[in-house]
Structure 1
């Protein structure tokens, strides 16, 4: 079973919860910036500002731009503990994480930032079991592969930074410094969530020629977009746009939803780069968050340089084939059912046959012992003898060859026990015992048995060839003086 992933809340500088739970002195300034999360951030016009933030959770981090001074007097204090000195000054960074708290207890906390001049774009809070989630926004980083299921040749990049401008050295870093990159049509990812809104953010390289096409399918409804977007004005000095919103929908019904993003086409050296996904949860606490488990599937995943994050995209709760062709071979259910029914009918027929046979043997125990079996060989050459001597023939007789010049040909006798003439004599002896206790039914049985024995006797000897006559004169080479004996029929004597 897949464990529940960590829940991270993103609080924008314009969120009501941020404004009501933070106090900054002196009054900060708000700036519009298309590369900031949701298009704005707040800053100070002094190097000695103070901020006080109240939050629920187990950790907190601040994201924004670096301050304008090199003063190393910024300190952070949590819950009236001893202050800790931090150095958020990184003049080359236009967007980055400039503070990360240690792990805290799952309760309400107050954090103070003293003597700072860094800007606030957004705050990330790790939610605990008691953290209220109603009205908040959850962030899922691209590296959380338990929730974002990749399929195809995705490449995961770590420790990433980007040049924001062509003329100035200012860099930005993605969330957790990781992204997932696709340059191959056919790559896709799927994301399941329980909420009322969802957005997809990433990095857009506007300084590179070419384009890429994405299909966004939300609960079966599809929308196609091409990037960079035609007609969208971008400063010629901008090289990379971070926090770029590729997709958003804020009018979803309360419940579970499925978002799938397909890379349809890539032209030139362009690429699609995913940073994170956000959604508004429809549950109030972490313990109520649904867990969507991904099953194993025949379609393996490959990564370009190899990313271990490429995964199948089916859902465990509702296993189904995706829109792309699958290599799975479906089992012919109809053939299996037909074969099963046919096998049962065959077994039933065999059982009935065995039952009737056993019942018949029980009624007539002597049937099997007295049954007459057909002879396997019926034509043999024998020496000159009368029919009465047949019963005394040996069971096996080897073939003999007459020396060259003789008139005797190769002679053989039957080799199977069923063709042994002794069985005729034994059958006759068994039949004679039936005459000791004759009844009408016995008479009929005796009549049938005599006819059967007579026919078998005739078949045994009807084609027997007698050996040649041994005259005193010389024999003729290649000529046999044999003769055929035909027994009379007894069919009409009874």
Structure 2
């Protein structure tokens, strides 16, 4: 019967520990976590639903584990490991025989003190086709993986960091383009004056000559300065008025109606 593999980490809630265990881990271990103990009698209990189970851990070069594994209250299975020249990661500590699909219990214990037990993760086999005569469900906290493949460290943190960096760079780029747009517009206007337009405007715009003094003012001032020459005043005022009228259209002629021009007799 075909099956699929489900990995249960040592920190999963399905695993229960007695006193004497410490948390540890390294980049070469699954999810960078392990449960370690050197305490005699320290144990763990795993309840799972499947057809088999395997225990994986790390073998230290200093001390080797001296452990036993009991499945469903049966006979203990010992494991101590072999000396190695370097640390061995993701090593098999225990593999159960084929079991009927259902709920099972595995208990692992440290037999004597001084031997370091480094527990990493468990692999449970679950059939692809669940027998119809069972009502058990697969634990939701387990993560499926391929049979016999070694788990790799999660890449969620790496992908999140890369995406966050790209988003930050895009934000800086958009802010820079916005700043350039408002400070230095793409289309610059020509600020040089157009002499041709100025000349045409000067030709079409009417010339406003300054208003000249009225003839009444000139007459009054001249009369004040030369009071004894009344015979020449009318002629002088007439000449000035005629000149000012031809010189500027804005000059208004105002005659003094009280003064009559003298008559000349021959």
After TM superposition, the score normalised by the length of structure 1 is 0.26
After TM superposition, the score normalised by the length of structure 2 is 0.46
Q: Which has the higher contact order (CA 8 A, sep 6+)?
A: 2
